[in-house]
Amino acid sequence: MKQEKFEQFQKSIDDTLLEEAQTPKKKHHYAAWAVAACLCVALVGVFTWQSRLPAATGEQNVEIPNPIEDVTADELDVTPPAGAEDVNYTTIGGTLKQMMFTLNGVSYTYRSAAAEEPTDLSGIYDAEQDVKDWDENGLQLTQCDGPSGSWIGWFDGTTQHCLSDQQPSEEILPLAQELMAQ
């Protein structure tokens, strides 16, 4: 009986079902692709992390030296005006001489440097500036007012000088003239 039932079941099975059962199924390799993607992400992370580490050559992080150095009054060729307080003498990059001082509660910056032609030493770089140029007593003068401050510059043929502060340039012109006379 068992044999009869088996033959009956076998005859009732469609040929297409038998062929389908005998054909091997394609395996999906999703797991392999997922592992490969994870490895790629891990490698990128390691290389990024390593690039942020200091070099293995023993080099240390190098800081840029400060170009401003304190100097003595003897090293600058200018004397502060009478009554000046909190006078500070420095050089910037070894070539630009700078004297910062307070007079009557107002802070001023005087700068000078060797130059072949008139140039702006003020350090005030406003996009909008009111500039006036003129010659007086063999000097080329520049008066400049801007939103960040004002300055008076004078060029004597070999040295550019500049006096700057936060008030209008007309108010610092007498002090600049005093420094020009030195």
Distances in Å between the alpha carbon of 46 and those of 12, 26, 30, 35, 39? 62, 36, 25, 17, 11
Average pLDDT value for residue range 53-66: 63
Average pLDDT value for residue range 59-63: 65
**Predicted local distance difference test score (pLDDT) of residue 181:** 86
Q: Tell me which of 31-45, 84-98, 128-142 is least confident.
A: 31-45
By three-state DSSP, how is residue 28 classified?
coil
Q: What is the CA radius of gyration of the chain?
A: 41
List, as one string, the DSSP characters of 51-75.
HTSPPTTSPPP-PPPPSEEE--GGG
- The mean predicted confidence, pLDDT, of the chain is 82
| Residue-range domain boundaries for the chain | 2-51, 68-180
Average pLDDT value for residue range 93-105: 92
**Predicted local distance difference test score (pLDDT) of residue 133:** 92
Q: What is the pTM of this model?
A: 0.63
Specify the higher pLDDT residue, 98 or 47. 98
**Predicted local distance difference test score (pLDDT) of residue 163:** 95
**Predicted local distance difference test score (pLDDT) of residue 12:** 66
CB 54 within 8 A of CB 60: yes
Sequence-separated (6 or more) residues with CB below 8 Å from residue 89: 70, 71, 72, 73, 75, 76, 97, 98, 99
Name the fold adopted by 68-180. Protein Transport Mog1p; Chain A (3.40.1000)
Sequence-separated (6 or more) residues with CB below 8 Å from residue 106: 165, 166, 167
**159: pLDDT confidence band, cut at 50, 70 and 90?**
very high
Specify the higher pLDDT residue, 34 or 91. 91
